[in-house]
Structure formats: structure tokens, C-alpha cells
Amino acid sequence: MSTPLSFPPSVARQLSRRSVFEALLHRSPISRADLAKVTSLSKQTMSEVIDAFEQQGLVRPVGRTRGNVGRTAVLYELSPDSGQVLGIDLGAQRLTVALADIAGRVLAEADEPTDSRGGAWTLDQIARLSDRLARDNHTHPSRIRSIVMATPGVVNPKSGAIEMAPNITGLDHLNVVGLLGEKLGSPAVLENDINLALLGEIWHGCARNVDNVAFLALGSGVGLGLYVNGRLVRGENGAAGEIGYLPIGGDPLQAESRLQGCLEYQIGAAGVVRRYREAGGSEVGSERQVFERAQTGDPTAATVVEETARLTALAAAAVIATVDPQLLVLGGSVGSRPDFADKVARLVLQLSARSVEIRTSTLGRRAGVVGALSVALRRLHDEIFGVAELTTALPLPPPAQRSASQ
């Protein structure tokens, strides 16, 4: 329970390093004098810290100031080759990989169709694509120090293993984290794709600087990412946001509802197609066609789309009533269609007691990789400058406690 480690004076140095690093992260080419001002550390301390950083290869000089009165200052920035991170988005159709340096500068991105054979083939494909990406960018895979992969399905927050990956075959029984880390030579972590898309929107997308966000993704399935109090909500089993199981749109005790979720049975891609067929619509290959036909005047399709929007809005209203987010982001291949998102937004505002801001995803299918990068980056930073042990709130004593005196 109680903190196992002592606090030698070096915590102070650790904190100093941390705040210098943070300043470097945000105002990159910067002089030691300015760093001292920003961090309100002394110039002296600053020189010591920067020297250490430079010896470590974390930081490098980039030119000097010019034009100002007074002596010129040496400018520093985070060294791009001091550490890199890899983000992977493993989708059922598409595999995307991106590389960023320690300062969060995105160096490169690549994607290709996912190997449909699944299992070990998929892992091989990931390794190959990542490797190529690194080499094409004049860097070496060994520089990569943190890897995060977005995957559909439920990721167990304790073991980090994939528990249900409906659309990618043969991954549930593999030690994906272990194998991936081994193949790529650095620690890898998995996270649900919707959660990472949400984090992507928070870092680079439409949800910047918002602390309470709900991300509703509607595509082949329906899912929710939750960001509350500035932190991702995973849930006890990693199953937070599995709103396919919301008791909305049908009888939740029915067989289909129990199997794939009451709501998902209706508004998932398969559900949309089924409802269109049941309503007498002609044969379609995918849910996309239903939406396209609705736009070109097919009344049956329009009704199906309308009902889909209504159910989506009900789900959104349920989430809003439960967590009261500041912002609702609509995403996914269906959810981010402008016509559809508009309908949903209008309905949500009618349904909710208080008004919520609603936006559509700006990163689209890139959201997953970007989010993966952001987590990989954060993990790397924590590894170098972590102060996790110090941050926990003072736990209150258990009830049994009674005064020893009197």
C-alpha cells in the first residue's frame, strides 16, 4: 500500500527534468534562458539539466537566436532519433501504420489491405509493413521504443489480450502482445480501435482540449469510446462502450439481442441491410448502398435510414444522460456520413435535457493510428519521466480504525 520507494533529493531532479521536457515538447526550438523562464527553474539548474539531456542524446542544438539585442542564445530541440514510436491500426479491411518521433512529430504513414488469411499471416504483415516504414524513413526499427496497436473487439485491460475480435480471424488464441513485441523488438500494447480513434480525435482531431468526450462509432458494428475526467474509460473488463448491448430498439431478451446485442442487431451494418430487405427493398451488397439509395430517392431506404438515425440518437441520449459529456463525436464509416450525422444530431438535441455539442470525426479512418501514436508516445514519456508512484491520492483509512487513546 504505502509508497515503497524513498524520495531522495533526486525526485527534485526528476521533476525538473520532467518540466524541462514538457517545455521542450511544446515550444520546441528554445534557448536555455527561455526554458529557465518558462519552467521557473534557475538558469544554473537549466544548464545542468540540458547538459544531461544532451549527453543522453535526448536533445540537440539547432542554431542560435538572431536579431535580438544581446548575446545570442543556443536553441535546442528534442532529438528526433532519440526515440520513436509506432502506431498500428489493424482493421478488418485495412492495416495502417504510422511512425512518430519523441516530440510527437508524425514522420510517416502507410497502409495496405489486411491479409485476409488472419492469424500469424496478419502478424507477419504488420511486422513487414512497420519495418519497411521505418527503413523508408532513414531510421532503424531498433529506434522504436513503444508500440500501440488498435484492434477491433474487447481488449482485456489486465492481460492486454484480445478477447473478442469478430472480424479478424485467428487472433483470439495468439499471444498477440508477446509476438508483436518480439517481432518488432520493443514493448507492444493493444487497445480497442474505437478507444484509440477517440484518443486520436482528442490529440489531433475535433475533440482537442476537451476533458469529457463520448465518441459514437457506427460502421459495421456500433461502439462507444468514453473519455471522462481526462482519462479513457476502459471498464472493469475492457468492455466499457459496448453499446451494441443497450436495451434499445428491440426486445433485449430475444436470442439475437443476447448474442450480438439488442441495438447492434438493429443498427449494425448487417441490421441495416436486413431491415431494408425485410421492408421490401431490392437486394443490396452492403449497408452503404442502402444509404446511397436513400439519398437518391428510394423511399424504403429512406425509412430504414431514418429509423437507424432514430435508434442511434436514442443510444446517444442514453450515453449523454449517463455521463454528461461536453462533446459528442460521431464517427465510423456510417456515423460520419454528413447527411446521417445531421439527422442524428438534430434528434439528440430533441431528446436530451441539456444541449450537448456534437461534431463529426475529422480524422476519419486515420483516427485509429493517430490515437495509437498518442498512447505510444505517452507511454514512452512515462517510461522516461514517470512519476506515477507520487500521483495517487492519499487513501483514506478503512472504517475499522478507532482511536488508541481514551
Partner DNA sequence: ATTGATTCGTCAATAGACCGAATTAATATG
Partner DNA sequence: CATATTAATTCGGTCTATTGACGAATCAAT
**Residue 405 touching a copy of itself (CB under 8 A):** yes
Which of 56, 57, 62, 182 is the binder for a copy of itself (CB under 8 A)? 62
Which of 27, 56, 72, 105 is the binder for DNA (CB under 7 A)? 72
Q: Which does 234 bind (CB under 5 to 8 A by kind): a copy of itself, DNA, none?
A: a copy of itself
> Given the rule CB under 7 A, which of 63-71, 124-132, 192-200, 281-289 is the region that contacts DNA?
63-71
**Residue 66 touching DNA (CB under 7 A):** yes
Closer to a copy of itself by CB, 150 or 290: give it: 150
Closer to a copy of itself by CB, 30 or 341: give it: 30
Tell me which residues in 30-59 interact with DNA (CB under 7 A).
Answer: 31-34, 40-45, 47-49
Q: From the CB of 400, what's the least distance to a copy of itself, in Å?
A: 10
The rounded distance, in Å, linking the Cα atoms of 85 and 70 is: 39
**Residue 401 touching a copy of itself (CB under 8 A):** yes
Which of 31, 41, 114, 192 is the binder for a copy of itself (CB under 8 A)? 41
Q: Which does 228 bind (CB under 5 to 8 A by kind): DNA, a copy of itself, none?
A: a copy of itself
Tell me which residues in 338-357 interact with a copy of itself (CB under 8 A).
Answer: 350-354
**Residue 38 touching a copy of itself (CB under 8 A):** yes
Measured CA to CA in angstroms, residue 370 lies from 93, 101, 199, 334 at distances of: 18, 13, 8, 20
| β-bridge mates for residue 327, sequence order | 213, 357
The rounded distance, in Å, linking the Cα atoms of 92 and 116 is: 8
Contact 280, 293 (CB under 8 A): no
**Residue 68 touching DNA (CB under 7 A):** yes
Closer to DNA by CB, 71 or 138: give it: 71
- Which string of x and - marks every residue 4-23 that binds DNA (by CB under 7 A)? --xxxxx-xx-xx-------
Tell me which residues in 280-309 interact with a copy of itself (CB under 8 A).
Answer: none
- Which string of x and - marks every residue 70-89 that binds a copy of itself (by CB under 8 A)? -----x-x--x---------
Closer to DNA by CB, 127 or 384: give it: 384
Measured CA to CA in angstroms, residue 210 lies from 22, 135, 219, 357 at distances of: 20, 36, 24, 11
Name residue 213's amino acid: V
Name residue 335's amino acid: G
**Residue 18 touching a copy of itself (CB under 8 A):** yes
Tell me which residues in 209-238 interact with a copy of itself (CB under 8 A).
Answer: 211-212, 224, 226, 228-231, 233-238
Q: From the CB of 283, what's the least distance to a copy of itself, in Å?
A: 32
The rounded distance, in Å, linking the Cα atoms of 210 and 358 is: 12
Q: From the CB of 28, what's the least distance to DNA, in Å?
A: 15
Point out which residues bind DNA (CB under 7 A): 6-10, 12-13, 15-16, 31-34, 40-45, 47-49, 64-74
